[in-house]
Structure 1
Amino acid sequence: MTSTVPALAIRPAEGNALQAVLLDMDGTLVDTEGFWWDVEAEVFAGLGHTLDDSWRHVVVGGPMSRSAGFLIEATGADITLAELTVLLNEGFEKRIGEALPLMPGARRLLAELHEHRVPTALVSASHRRIIDRVLTTLGAHHFALTVAGDEVPRTKPHPDPYLTAATGLGAEPGRCAVVEDTATGVAAAEAAGCHVVAVPSVAPITPAERRTVVTSLEEVNLTFLRGLMTAG
């Protein structure tokens, strides 16, 4: 699956109707935010450096170019961004090949959206090679569209990934519900003009206008998402 699909005609909003649901991947649908940190720590240990645990909040949820670049600068490791990107992707692929746990409520939510034919997109800062591996577990049939971090000019926290997904599904951003787990992803969704459900995975996220915070996807269903369009 790729994000390079013809844009559908945007459907006029019927009242406050939900038009599409856009879902983050790591930490939202699959319990992999810890995997990324473990791989980063392992790679840098091999380079002779120990990562400070406080950096975890800096690198979570963003594009690999940002997180990898930060870690190179913070450690002074003798490695290029391109070289590190290859090592991180390879390490992560190996890790998810051994185990890929879903977040509580993820499978049930995806099945419900699919059953009711709600246009749904997977929107991730991870690269296409990673998304395609994860889709074998999530089920590619659950998504009409997927957008990878290496397929947009600017990834999260910029709005581009969510604007791309909304356009590809023929939806107005203001009639889309986004489910995210990090402040970086929330910033991207809000900049795109979407309603946001935040399910914090690593760092706390506070409620705000057009932003609802829950503790688990177990609290999220289609009725809940439709209600976001009229809340507030």
Structure 2
Amino acid sequence: MTSSIPAVDSRMAKGSALQAVLLDMDGTLVDTEGIWWDAEVGIFADLGHVLAEEHREVVVGGPMSRSASYLIEATGADIPLAELTILLNARFAELIDGQVPMLPGARRLLAELAAHEIPTALVSASHRSVIDRVLRSVGAEYFHLTVAGDEVARTKPHPDPYLLAATGLGADPARCVVIEDTHTGVAAAEAAGCQVLAVPSVVPIDPAPTRTVVRSLEEVDLPFLHTLVTARG
């Protein structure tokens, strides 16, 4: 264990109700929300359409099917949803070729969770092919399991992905902390009955009884995550 990983007070750890930490990917751990937007802007430019900034706030954090459907409807682009989905995933993969930028505090937090053997899952609306590509940079070893948007019948904002992750880790959703950056992800986590820690990326998120908001993962460590669940209990 390195000096960058804070020790957890044994009394607090034993008294904590925290069973697992479930993390979103895009905009939460990796700085890819802007890359997704660049992919969308580029593809629609190829189709002869200009995406306005107002569209970005609608599609951020959304599952591919919802975001792509919205953009087709908003622009009137003549392209089937299935084809657009393939193009967007391929363009994103091209843009992240190489190292994916981690957000401040993300790698340190993942290392801390791993060092203290906290059950951890990556829960994303992105497709499996995208998640696996990003994990080459982030490190698949940090996660006990991963859930992709194309592996569930209903992805975010529905609770299904987080319920699946909690079940896979053998955890009670009410004793899980979910870390998210968008309203879509927050809605999914709250619907699953989890405690939510929001780190807004593109669109502001307000605090709520089951939701704590911070500016950056640099403000988050394991003792803080423990207190979120014990306070709720």
- TM-score normalised by length of structure 1: 0.93
Match of 1:217 in 2: 217
Q: Secondary structure at the match of 1:229?
A: helix
C-alpha deviation, 1:94, in angstroms: 0.7
C-alpha deviation, 1:15, in angstroms: 6.0
C-alpha deviation, 1:99, in angstroms: 4.3
Asked whether the equivalents of residues 20 and 171 of structure 1 are also in contact (C-alpha less than 8 Å), the reply is: yes
Match of 2:128 in 1: 128
Q: Secondary structure at the match of 1:197?
A: strand
Q: Give 4+ residue runs of structure 1 displaced > 4 Å after superposition.
A: none
C-alpha deviation, 1:210, in angstroms: 1.5
C-alpha deviation, 1:160, in angstroms: 0.2
Match of 2:118 in 1: 118
CA distance in 2, matches of 1:73, 1:91: 20
Match of 2:150 in 1: 150
CA distance in 2, matches of 1:121, 1:98: 23
Match of 1:9 in 2: none
What's the Cα RMSD here? Answer: 1.0
- TM-score normalised by length of structure 2: 0.92
CA distance in 2, matches of 1:159, 1:190: 8
C-alpha deviation, 1:16, in angstroms: 4.5
Q: Secondary structure at the match of 2:21?
A: strand
Match of 1:78 in 2: 78
For residues 169-204 of structure 1, the C-alpha deviation after alignment (integer angstroms, 9 at most, x for no partner) is 000000000000000000000000000000000000
C-alpha deviation, 1:119, in angstroms: 0.2
For residues 121-142 of structure 1, the C-alpha deviation after alignment (integer angstroms, 9 at most, x for no partner) is 0000000000000111111110
Question: Which residue type is aligned with residue 101 of structure 1?
Answer: P
Alignment length (residue pairs) = 219
Asked whether the equivalents of residues 123 and 147 of structure 2 are also in contact (C-alpha less than 8 Å), the reply is: yes
Alignment of 1:48-59 (within 5 A): 48-59=48-59
Match of 1:11 in 2: none
Alignment of 1:90-101 (within 5 A): 90-101=90-101
C-alpha deviation, 1:231, in angstroms: 2.0
Question: Which residue type is aligned with residue 156 of structure 2?
Answer: K
Structure 2: 5+ residue runs without aligned partners? Answer: 1-13
Q: Does residue 120 of structure 2 align to residue 109 of structure 1?
A: no
Asked whether the equivalents of residues 16 and 227 of structure 2 are also in contact (C-alpha less than 8 Å), the reply is: no
Q: Secondary structure at the match of 1:21?
A: strand
Structure 1: 5+ residue runs without aligned partners? Answer: 1-13
CA distance in 2, matches of 1:174, 1:16: 13
Question: Which residue type is aligned with residue 121 of structure 1?
Answer: A
Match of 2:187 in 1: 187
Question: Which residue type is aligned with residue 90 of structure 1?
Answer: A
Question: Which residue type is aligned with residue 141 of structure 1?
Answer: E
Asked whether the equivalents of residues 16 and 175 of structure 1 are also in contact (C-alpha less than 8 Å), the reply is: no
Match of 2:5 in 1: none
